[in-house]
Structure 1
Amino acid sequence: MSTSPDRNGKRSAEPGTPRSRDALRAAQMYYLQDLTMNAIARELRTSRSTVSRLLSMARETGLVQIQINNPLDRAPALEREIRYRYGVEAHVVPVTDLVSDSDVLDRVAIQAARTLGPLVDSNAIIGVAWGSTISAVSHHLTRKVTHDSTIVQLNGAGNTQTTGITYASEILRRFGAAYGARVEQFPVPAFFDHAETKTAMWAERSVKRILDLQHRMTMAIFGVGSVGAGIPSHVYSGGYLDEDDMRILSESRVVGDVATVFFRADGSHSDIVLNERSTGPELELLAQVSRRICVVSGETKINGLRGALAAGLATDLILDERSARTLVQHS
């Protein structure tokens, strides 16, 4: 049997192997034919414990997706309200007020990974922005076989303390492994010291190749950075910005960023000085990608999220229930 490590380091069957076919067969019997695990074990001539493991595998690998329709759930109403106000497809993750910020992030990341899977197809070029939220999403991706697909890094990750390669490449590697896609890194700093350096680098053929891939993206997935987030955005906590940079952001009334490109509450961004040195994609380019999936966890990111929505950066929004309530109540 051919196996490979899953996101938790365990061994899981490759698609098309006898074990994956058994998992699909067991799932069909259990969920569609209402057979008991004992009955499935007899039919497959195996043990009940093996059937239990096959059903777990079917859920973990995305063969089975479980949906609960609760008529008393507030999430669908919030999703409709967000869709009406902002024109995006919303996926609201139910959470209570007692759940910690880190647990909220984990639940949002799981939902984002499950939402993303069915949208990924062969011949796709998927732009991925590094950050705390997308890093969490990358840990929960379920495997899906695609062909001739590419994962491209949206913005550089280096700063004066680190190249950022290890951090960003791990996120990209998980996306590539999940979808059997080629990974294209962007080995430049997050911010150049001088705008002139960026202009010169953007004329280099090795860099232009990555920029060309970004221009041909069919999908982008990103979080929203915010200075005061409950779980600090990596760009603000990882040594990418010094005191002068933070002062400039404050004076420019910046509320957040996507892929290290900053914007104000009304979505404006073209005259923000730091964007001239940022290696993130031009927001006008990002707004032209056909599918743009924004993942947000935590109410402290709402101002940044409003700015991103005002700039038209998202077609799909995945966020927790508390943040969704804040978004619609204070619009």
Structure 2
Amino acid sequence: MVVPDLGRAHGSGRMVTADHLRLLARVARMYHEQGMRQPEIAAALSISQPRVSRLLKEAITRGIVRTVVVLPDGVHTELEEDLQRRYSMRDAVVVDAGGAQGDVIPALAAAAAAYFDATFKGGDVIGISSWSETLLAAVDRMHPKNTQVADRVMQVVGGVGSPEAQVHATRLISRLSDVTRARPVFVPSAGVVGTPLVRDALLQDRAVVEVMAQWDELTVVLVGIGSLEPSPLLLRSGNAVGHTDQEELRSLGAVGDVCLHFFDAEGNVVDSAFDRRVVGINVETFRAVERRVAVAGGRRKYSAIKAALRGGWVNVLITDLEVAQRLLAEPT
């Protein structure tokens, strides 16, 4: 072990006197242990405040004062930083959902709401998927802003299916628009249509084209990560992946989706008949968005989450502790 040579002046071979070291230690204790302010220390020791400042810096340089960060319970900063490095992400948020008895949505929603509150800035154009129960729970927990923090909140996947699906999409977009004081923009179409021909016709509709043109202006997009088995919400929506489509996607190696675009275990897009019936943001436009935030967790979603990170679908992940630990324990 290398022990710092406290007797040598920093940056030179000159020895420092015991009196100087004693003064360093005294100033450090007064500031860090007794909570005295620098002017108070200067007055007590009859020295100048600039000298107190220099002595405090020197005490750190010499190792007399060492900073130790002790993480509070429930804070997983080290895991978050490891996830960022491992998967080349902009940011990660890890929340302990252990007390949720298998339901991670409340914990994820609370963490996502706090993240959105802290990171939305004036002028953002926010895209949001219509199909995430966790996103709806998160937006419901957000605090209304006193000033406008977003220009528009845009739906990026069609939302008209069953009446329940329409209510869900409208509520999600409208609520986020209200709390950010932004203008809501809806996709006037179903998310999944019956045939590619119908989809191609819809993509020529003037109202749909006007919305699609604005997707190029997105600065952030908020999504869930779906597994191959549809969630209860998607099943009820009228836009779920049918049995025949599931069989085709499974045979092609699909493990999950973002905005109803399915990918395999490596995160590669799966070219399927189902994909040609989706009305929503295309893969290239989605990937071009600077900040792509996913809120997803739970054991059922693990394979899809890992594949989405491998494929670079998202660059911010808000997830639970169990998923985060597993993502770091297993090979990338």
| TM-score, scaled to structure 1 | 0.73
Counterparts of 2:299 and 2:198, CA distance in 1:
37
Is the contact between residue 81 and residue 328 of structure 1 (CA under 8 Å) also seen in structure 2? yes
Q: Which runs of 5+ in 1 are unaligned?
A: 1-67
Counterparts of 1:197 and 1:206, CA distance in 2:
15
CA apart distance, 1:167: 1.2
Between the two proteins, the alignment pairs up a number of residues equal to 259
Moved more, 83-92 or 274-283: 274-283
> CA distance change for structure 1 residues 233 and 258 in 2, over 3 Å: closer, same or farther?
farther
- Once the two structures are superposed, the pairs formed by residues 122-271 of structure 1 within 5 Å of their partners are 122-130=122-130, 131-144=132-145, 145-146=147-148, 149-159=151-161, 161-162=162-163, 164-228=165-229, 232=231, 234-236=233-235, 238-239=237-238, 240-269=240-269, 271=271
SS at match of 1:193: coil
SS at match of 1:273: coil
Q: Deviations over 1:256-312 (max 9, x none)?
A: 111112111111115222111112322221111011111112122111112211221
SS at match of 2:141: coil
Amino acid of the residue matched to residue 91 of structure 1? Answer: V
Amino acid of the residue matched to residue 93 of structure 1? Answer: V
Q: Which runs of 5+ in 2 are unaligned?
A: 1-68
Q: Deviations over 1:82-102 (max 9, x none)?
A: 111101111111233x43233
Counterparts of 2:242 and 2:305, CA distance in 1:
23
CA apart distance, 1:176: 0.6
> CA distance change for structure 1 residues 197 and 69 in 2, over 3 Å: closer, same or farther?
farther
| TM-score, scaled to structure 2 | 0.72
| 2:282 maps to 1:311 | no
Counterparts of 1:75 and 1:233, CA distance in 2:
30
- The structure having more radius of gyration, on CA atoms, is 2
- Once the two structures are superposed, the pairs formed by residues 41-190 of structure 1 within 5 Å of their partners are 70=71, 75-88=76-89, 89-96=91-98, 98-102=99-103, 104-130=104-130, 131-144=132-145, 145-146=147-148, 149-159=151-161, 161-162=162-163, 164-190=165-191
Counterparts of 1:183 and 1:238, CA distance in 2:
21
Counterparts of 1:228 and 1:277, CA distance in 2:
18
CA RMSD of aligned residues (A): 2.2
Is the contact between residue 228 and residue 300 of structure 1 (CA under 8 Å) also seen in structure 2? no
Counterparts of 1:141 and 1:125, CA distance in 2:
17
Counterparts of 1:317 and 1:191, CA distance in 2:
26
Counterparts of 1:169 and 1:246, CA distance in 2:
27
Counterparts of 2:277 and 2:164, CA distance in 1:
17
Counterparts of 1:146 and 1:69, CA distance in 2:
36
Is the contact between residue 260 and residue 278 of structure 2 (CA under 8 Å) also seen in structure 1? yes
Counterparts of 1:205 and 1:74, CA distance in 2:
48
Counterparts of 2:295 and 2:204, CA distance in 1:
32
Q: Deviations over 1:13-62 (max 9, x none)?
A: xxxxxxxxxxxxxxxxxxxxxxxxxxxxxxxxxxxxxxxxxxxxxxxxxx
Runs of 4+ in 1 over 3 A off after TM superposition: 71-74, 236-239
Counterparts of 1:329 and 1:236, CA distance in 2:
33
SS at match of 1:289: coil
Identity percentage of aligned residues = 23
